[in-house]
Amino acid sequence: SSISTLATFSHSQRGNFFQNEPKISNQYEEDPFLKEQLEIDIPKEYLKDIEPDLHQFGNKVATNIYELSLECERNVPRLESFDAWGNRIDKLIVCDAWKEMKNISATEGLIAIPYENKFSIYSRLYQIAKLYLFAPSSGLFSCPLAMTDGAARTIQSIVVQSFTKEAYERLTTRDPLKFWTSGQWMTERKGGSDVSAGTETEAYLQSDDNYKLYGFKWFSSATDSDMTVTLARVMDENSQPSKDLTMFFARIRRNDGKLNGIEIQRLKNKLGTRQLPTAELLLDGMDAFRMSEIGKGVSRMSSMLNVTRIHNSLNAIAFMRRSINFARDFATKRKAFGKLIIDHDLHCYTLGNMEVECRASLLTLFYVAKLLGKMECNQASKEELEMLRFITPLLKIYTAKQSIAVTSEGLEAIGGQGYIEDTGIPNLLRDSQVLSIWEGTTNILSLDALRSIKKSQGGSLKIFFKTIFKTCEQAKKYEPLKQKSDLLIDLSKKIIQFVEVNENELVTGAREFSFGLYRLFTASLILERCMKTNLKDTDLYLLEKWFNQDMIPIVTSSEKDFFSTKTSELNKKFFMNGH
């Protein structure tokens, strides 16, 4: 026969080897660590009803919902500003898969669960576990859901008026025909961190609590939402703006379906979160209702932010989990140097390090979720409320940064294919990158942790260490945990001493300080888990690995003078380098 029919490669034969692609299966069943932790945290009488739901949903997020998310990534939103005749139409077009995500969110109760409160203080944890399964398959619909949850929580905490009553019912319903999502517009061109100084939007009183808003919102995620919560300066009779900001509620569209005094300037062209219609908006007489006392907007808005920041963290950890799940499956399919790559100890060690970050942070997320659940059922003590306030920004900043690192490693673990768009892997890294920016950057939330310490006059820090010491005292009784418990007590004392001596320098060191606190607290939760699982070998290994890092470099660094004013001056000279 001719050479062309014998050859392995020819125009009709592209070789015999095709790599089996990495796949995910039921995301609940694929996560024994999650299941075990739910068994620890939720009493059996509740878990028996919760578990079947997580099981069925774990399957959906690996199959049809996952397919929808890929569709959202392929079919990104677009804006038609004008019709053929030059009329301004501001038509925002989102794909059917994105719309379906909204229906799924309603029917699965992704917002409703904690508000229905069927499982007492565990309702919140149940919702967060379910959202954790959903997030990486949601096509970033998890973003509007975060804001929807924050809005529902905020409305719930204020005096109910007729407009907010309807909104609350719609935000928390399971009926897809009634379900609303919410936006959260804070950032303006002058600044998203320093919102108080950066907000130029003006609110003109019409009647009662009805206002018209004029301004420009620089970032609005999920512009297809039904309502929004936003900030503006109330104008007095002399058209002078108030010093402080006020919080407002507004519908996006009026009853006739037209935009409510809003022009969609353009959609942002973004590194990631491409599934999400993030826009710049001109508010040109938007009808809005006052939701806070005049000048108390930032403080009121913070209750919303504290919820959305927890969502940010759950997304971060969920992205890590998904990235690891892909990497694990691939490692059992891909061969190199004569064996499966999972059997190369170095590769398995690399994957193990990713797993450490994901498991450890899940413990802290669940700790926060339990506190939130208690707070919502009025069962949280004063100390627990302080802890919730204090740990939320620490959880947000640490998990966001780790999500970027872990999804990056996860991408590399798939090799060159990890970099290829239609494998569905790159978007995990791209989308993670935003998590440390929105809802407050790393620096801003490190400062927020300091704000919480200051506001409680040091109380939150005292309770924080008291909680750690309590766990360590219990853990010390177990021989395999004794050394780590002693070490944790020792490190905690070091940081307490550091705070006493360096109180004035904490601002420059806020980031390192916050990361250090997070590591210490998470260490105590791993100790707790070890006790609860009767010293399971893999949990002891997690403990060992977690301590195998420089826990509090801000204290242990040889550069003692690192954050002093003198060093700050040198640092500026060093960095600016004559510029």
Q: Which residues bind ligand FAD (CB under 6 A)?
A: 183-187, 191-193, 219-221, 270, 273, 278, 434, 437-438, 440-441, 443-444
DSSP H or E run through 204: strand 202-207
User: Residues 210, 212, 218, CA angle at the centre, nearest 5°?
Assistant: 125
Of the pair 193, 242, the CB lying nearest ligand FAD is at: 193
Q: Are 542 and 500 in contact (CB under 8 A)?
A: no
234 Cβ contact list (under 8 Å, min separation 6): 203, 205, 211, 241, 242, 246, 290, 294, 295
| CA dist., res. 63 & res. 57, Å (int) | 10
What secondary structure does DSSP assign to 155-200, as a single string? HHHS---HHHHHHHHHHT-S-TTT---EEEE--BTTBSSSHHHH--
Binding partner of residue 308 among ligand UCC, ligand FAD, none, CB under 5 to 8 Å per kind?
A: ligand UCC
Out of ligand UCC, ligand FAD, none, what residue 315 binds, judged by CB under 5 to 8 A for its kind, is ligand UCC
Least gap, CB of 487 to ligand UCC (angstroms): 31
Among 26, 69, 105, 142, binds ligand UCC (CB under 6 A): 142
Q: What is the closest distance, in whole angstroms, from the C-beta atom of residue 379 to ligand UCC in the complex?
A: 20
Select from 143-151, 256-264, 367-375, 466-474 the region that touches ligand UCC (CB under 6 A). 143-151
Residue 306: contacted member of ligand FAD, ligand UCC, none (CB under 5 to 8 Å, by partner type): ligand UCC
Closer residue to ligand FAD, CB minimum distance, 198 or 459: 198
Closest CA to 519 of 421, 370, 371, 402: 402
Distances in Å between the alpha carbon of 278 and those of 13, 220, 281, 440? 45, 5, 10, 17
278 binds, among ligand UCC, ligand FAD, none (CB under 5 to 8 A by kind): ligand FAD
28 binds, among ligand UCC, ligand FAD, none (CB under 5 to 8 A by kind): none
> Which has the closest alpha carbon to 281: 268, 265, 267?
265
Phi-psi region at 440: left, alpha or beta (left = phi > 0; alpha = psi -120 to 50): left
Report the alpha-carbon distance of residue 253 to residue 2 in Å, rounded: 70
Q: Taking CB under 6 A as the rule, does residue 61 contact ligand UCC? A: no
Nearest-10 crossing angle of helices 345-376, 123-134: 140
Question: Does residue number 72 form part of the binding site for ligand UCC (CB under 6 A)?
Answer: no
Identity of the residue, 260 or 315, whose beta carbon is nearer to ligand UCC in the bound complex: 315
Does 440 bind ligand UCC (CB under 6 A)? Our answer is: yes
Shortest separation between residue 425's beta carbon and ligand FAD, angstroms: 20
Number of residues that bind ligand UCC (CB under 6 A): 29
Among residues 144 and 509, whose Cβ is nearest to ligand UCC?
144
By CB under 6 A, tell whether 388 contacts ligand UCC: no
> Which residue in the block uniquely carries the two structure tokens 């242990």?
556
Q: Rounded CA gap, 393 and 231, in Å?
A: 21
Q: Which does 407 bind (CB under 5 to 8 A by kind): ligand UCC, ligand FAD, none?
A: none
CB of 327 to ligand UCC, least distance (A): 21
User: CB of residue 198 vs ligand FAD: minimum separation in angstroms?
Assistant: 7
Tell which residue, 524, 497, 495, has the closest CA to residue 512. Answer: 495
Query: Which partner in ligand UCC, ligand FAD, none is near 270 (CB below 5 to 8 A by kind)?
Result: ligand FAD
* Amino acid in the structure at residue 2: S
Tokens of 366: 């669940």
**Contact footprint for ligand UCC (CB under 6 A):** 142-143, 146-147, 184, 186-187, 192-193, 195-196, 221, 298-299, 302, 305-306, 308, 311-312, 315, 389, 438-440, 444, 448, 451, 455
